[in-house]
Amino acid sequence: MLDALPESVSLYEVAPRDGLQNEASQVATHAKVRLIEALVDAGLRRVEVTSFVSPKWVPQMADADQVCQMLERKPGVTYSALVPNARGLRRALAGKLDEVAVFVSASETHNRKNVNKTIARTLKAFEGVIGPAIEAGLRVRGYVSTLWGCPYEGEVDPEAGLRIAEELLGRGCYQVSLGDTIGVGTPLQTRRILEHFLERIPPERLALHLHDTRGTALANMLVGLELGIRDFDAAVAGLGGCPYAPGAAGNLATEDLAYTLAGMGIATGVDLERVWQAGQVAEAIVGRKLPGKVHQAGVRSLAR
């Protein structure tokens, strides 16, 4: 296993969007900006900074326009945001982002609960996003959610998810990130899902977006690495999950991912000490303990 390790992989940081979108109390815009800047200072070069969704659906992201206005940009960094429709794209263009991400679930019920549409209508709405975004010079990323399991339907047919991913790539997305949205995945399941996808999509066009609800995200990431995936989503300190839903958790923690890869001699471009400090910023702005393991253990012990 893992005998052909890459020299480097690309991390895609989602804490400011996926991590914060479930926070019950409103996080101040300047605090969000401080977190994004700390992540960039730590070496992260792709950051999903916010989402241009309906503020009625996700009140925490209501200040997306202000986040973009306040954010000082650094060269070499791709600033991205989630966009569900043409209105979201207009806001993203006004916010001068480099990239937008469209999202759709592989299971109908989760998709309807998330965006109030069938999968087919969601993909139709992307006609107002993907093409126009590319024409405006932006890159477009896609997400396919609930591939490892749906909170409403249980098991999900990977073929249904694969067809959606192919459609997103065919329409111009440069990459599709495969989501274990509720963090139920286990390694052999991950192998089965990925092998199915890799029959028709090359690994460089796929990313993994693993929530760590049950502590299996790192193990699943390693399966992806072994199968040639080189792009991984992560949230600093494991930020995310709903404070009112016991057991819910955020994405694979950026520090845990970077620490594990560093130990395997795989570069991520991230300075571990500084990303750990960004995790302290995240913890301070949400005002509660965050679950990331390296976040809790610290990085100094690396010197041993």
Query: DSSP character for 15?
Result: I
Give CA–CA dist 77/8, Å, rounded.
17
Q: Looking at the chain, how many residues does it have?
A: 304
DSSP 8-class letter at 20: T
Q: Does residue 242 have an active-site annotation?
A: yes
Q: Pick what 19 binds: ligand HMG, Mg ion, none; C-beta below 5 to 8 Å, kind-dependent.
A: none
Q: How far is the CB of 70 from ligand HMG (least distance, A)?
A: 18
Determine the interface stretch with Mg ion among 15-23, 39-47, 106-114, 129-137 (rule: CB under 5 A). Answer: 15-23
60 binds ligand HMG (CB under 6 A): no
150 contact choice in ligand HMG, Mg ion, none (CB below 5 to 8 Å, kind-dependent)? none
Long-range CB contacts (< 8 A, 24+ apart) of 239-245? Answer: 239/15, 239/19, 239/20, 239/282, 239/286, 239/290, 240/15, 240/18, 240/19, 240/20, 240/21, 240/22, 240/211, 241/22, 241/211, 241/213, 242/22, 242/24, 243/22, 243/23, 243/24, 243/288, 244/24
The interface region with ligand HMG, picked from 46-54, 128-136, 167-175, 252-260 by CB under 6 A, is 46-54
Q: Measured from the CB of residue 299, what is the shortest distance to ligand HMG in angstroms?
A: 26
Least separation, in Å, of the C-beta of 181 and ligand HMG? 3
Work out how close the CB of 233 gets to Mg ion at its nearest, in angstroms, rounded to a whole number.
Answer: 8
Minimal CB distance residue for Mg ion? 18
> Which of ligand HMG, Mg ion, none does residue 116 bind (CB under 5 to 8 Å by kind)?
ligand HMG
x/- contact string, 135-164, with ligand HMG (CB under 6 A)? --------x-x-------------------
Q: Using CB under 5 A, which of the segments 17-25, 39-47, 56-64, 86-94 binds Mg ion?
A: 17-25
Is residue 57 within the footprint of ligand HMG (CB under 6 A)?
Answer: yes
Residue from 84, 158, 185, 250 binding ligand HMG (CB under 6 A): 84
Q: Restricting to residues 97-116, which ones interact with ligand HMG according to CB under 6 A?
A: 103, 114-116
Contacts of 56 (CB under 8 A, 6+ apart): none
DSSP-based helix, strand, coil % in the chain, nearest 5: 45, 15, 40
Quote the DSSP letter at residue 251.
Answer: B
Is the CB of residue 195 less than 8 Å from the CB of residue 159? no
Among 9, 13, 15, 18, binds ligand HMG (CB under 6 A): 18
114 or 254: whose CB is closer to ligand HMG?
114
Alpha-carbon distance of 300 to 104, in angstroms, equals 40
Distance of CA 62 to the CA centre of its chain: 19
CA 276, CA 180: separation in Å to the nearest integer? 24
C-alpha closest to that of 129 among 99, 108, 160, 106 = 99
As given in the structure block, the two tokens for residue 106 are 């592989």
Q: How far is the CB of 298 from Mg ion (least distance, A)?
A: 26
Q: Which residues bind ligand HMG (CB under 6 A)?
A: 18, 21, 51-54, 56-58, 82, 84-85, 87-88, 91, 103, 114-116, 143, 145, 179, 181, 209, 211
Q: Which residues bind Mg ion (CB under 5 A)?
A: 18
Question: Annotated active-site positions, please?
Answer: 242
